[in-house]
Structure 1
Amino acid sequence: MDVRAPARTWGGRTADERRAQRREALVAAALEIWLDSGWAAVTMRGVCQRAGLNDRYFYENFADRDELLGEVWDEVCAEVFADLAAVITENSDRTPVQILRAAIARAVALQADQRSRARILLAEHAGSAVLELRRQRMLTDSTDMMVAVAWPYLRPGVDETAFRMSTLAGIGGFIELLTAWRTGVLDVDADRIAEHTSMIALQLGAMFLPPELLGG
């Protein structure tokens, strides 16, 4: 019979639980610095100082800063995708155009909130190969999600490659529009960004949706 010794605890937590707590603290500290000053300000020393941990705990969890940056990005990106997926689910009984408008409005709102974690996804990432790769993957994943959501509503016989290219162009343009707005290139309010993007989406949708589904 395999009898395992119970895990030792300190302060009511096991070693694994304490390590997980330290990792969470490091990720949270990195995110705070990133939101305040950009990804380039995220350093091992700065993160440890803000988390109240010494350097050895950083290397207990991450090989280097790039791994930490990737962890923060992945956590926030997953959170944003789950948020948008929830919006889509909540509006599933509405028309495709209404669903898309709701998702667009939510994406704009996330970028309008000055303390939203989602803002790091559209910030400047030049100089970080790990973040540029993740930004590209985010665009691909967003396209995949939109194609999957829209596919049941499309006209029979739609060219999937053409639809995917149009969706990719639409999402890429939306990201660039949000970035320009965030950086002050466009002096308009959030409602206008959402309204204009929805209008463009409707124009693209007309290429692939049956006429009866273009209302709303």
Structure 2
Amino acid sequence: MRLGVATGTYGGRSAQERRAERRERFLAAGLELFGGSPGYRASSVTALCEAAWLSTRQFYEECRNLEDVLARLHLLVNDLTEQEVVRALAESAEAGFEQRIGAVLRAYVTAATRDRRRLRIAFVEIIGVSEALERQRLVRRARWVELILAEAGAAAARGEVAPRDYRIAATAFIGAVNGLLHDWTAGQFEATLDQVIDELAGLLLGVVRPGA
């Protein structure tokens, strides 16, 4: 049951402003615990509240449970990465397809790996938690697939790539990206940022290049 929430002004800040600050503190604490140590499955409401310097009563005023915090963090991480990709698309609008792909992949990889805690939440902690979170993960993954399809369609219209249905290829590519970034940041192999981007660009261009 959700607890009642104060609605007055206190200390010069409205109840809405105080609630927004508490939500930010819970998310920051969740990023630290879920994306760092001990991870989502080993965390508790008590530990999260201690990390946020807030009470359990305040937690249940803002959140349903720990999964609610993880879900919000997953959406936030994806939104931040998507913003970088959209910016790269706008800045490379006049570039050729290969240059555009390189710019977009650089934006994605840089944003996704800038903070290892975000990467862990996006690719590790979200897996297998619940049916609701799995649906959320697949919905956000589908948005990345649609972005690739839109770019491939635009490139086909300009005669830069072969016109065909790229959905299977785009879905496979997103899976490859996620797996590669996870293993790279986990230290499974050594590579520079440029090497990772070049490898991903080669994979993508291999399936969309005319005659491929």
Per the TM superposition, whether the score is higher than 0.5 is: yes
Structure 2 distance, partners of 1:126, 1:119, is 10
User: Is there any run of 5+ residues in structure 1 with no aligned partner, and where?
Assistant: 1-6, 210-216
2:80–2:111 contact (8 Å) kept in structure 1: no
Report SS of the residue matched to 2:75: helix
Report SS of the residue matched to 1:184: coil
1:48–1:54 contact (8 Å) kept in structure 2: yes
Q: Deviation digits for residues 165-191 of structure 1, max 9, x if unmatched? A: 111111211211222222233232222
Q: Which region of structure 1 is more displaced relative to structure 2, 108-117 or 196-205?
A: 108-117
TM-score by length of 2: 0.83
Match of residue 153 from structure 1: 155
Structure 2 distance, partners of 1:84, 1:100, is 10
2:29–2:51 contact (8 Å) kept in structure 1: yes
2:84–2:108 contact (8 Å) kept in structure 1: no
Q: How has the CA–CA distance of structure 1 residues 116 and 87 changed in structure 2, closer, same or farther, with 3 Å as cutoff?
A: farther
Are 1:56 and 2:51 an aligned pair?
A: no
Structure 2 distance, partners of 1:188, 1:77, is 24
Match of residue 13 from structure 2: 13
Structure 2 letter corresponding to 1:163 = Y
Q: How has the CA–CA distance of structure 1 residues 113 and 174 changed in structure 2, closer, same or farther, with 3 Å as cutoff?
A: same
Report SS of the residue matched to 1:10: coil
For residue 137 of structure 1, report the CA deviation from its aligned partner: 2.3
For residue 94 of structure 1, report the CA deviation from its aligned partner: 0.5
For residue 131 of structure 1, report the CA deviation from its aligned partner: 4.1
1:97–1:202 contact (8 Å) kept in structure 2: yes
For residue 144 of structure 1, report the CA deviation from its aligned partner: 0.9
Match of residue 3 from structure 2: none
After superposition, residues 23-172 of structure 1 pair within 5 angstroms as 23-37=23-37, 38-115=39-116, 117-129=118-130, 130-155=132-157, 158-159=163-164, 162-172=165-175
Report SS of the residue matched to 2:163: coil
Q: Deviation digits for residues 30-65 of structure 1, max 9, x if unmatched? A: 112223223224421111111111101111011111
Pick from 176, 186, 190 the counterpart of residue 187 of structure 1. 190
Structure 2 letter corresponding to 1:149 = E
Q: How has the CA–CA distance of structure 1 residues 87 and 192 changed in structure 2, closer, same or farther, with 3 Å as cutoff?
A: same
Structure 2 letter corresponding to 1:36 = G
TM-score by length of 1: 0.82
Are 1:199 and 2:202 an aligned pair?
A: yes
Q: How has the CA–CA distance of structure 1 residues 165 and 115 changed in structure 2, closer, same or farther, with 3 Å as cutoff?
A: closer
1:23–1:61 contact (8 Å) kept in structure 2: yes
Structure 2 distance, partners of 1:65, 1:123, is 16
Larger radius of gyration: 1
Structure 2 distance, partners of 1:208, 1:121, is 35
Q: How has the CA–CA distance of structure 1 residues 8 and 62 changed in structure 2, closer, same or farther, with 3 Å as cutoff?
A: closer
Report SS of the residue matched to 2:166: helix
Structure 1 letter corresponding to 2:197 = A
Structure 2 distance, partners of 1:39, 1:207, is 44
The alignment yields a C-alpha RMSD, in angstroms, of: 2.4
Structure 2 distance, partners of 1:207, 1:119, is 36
For residue 106 of structure 1, report the CA deviation from its aligned partner: 2.3
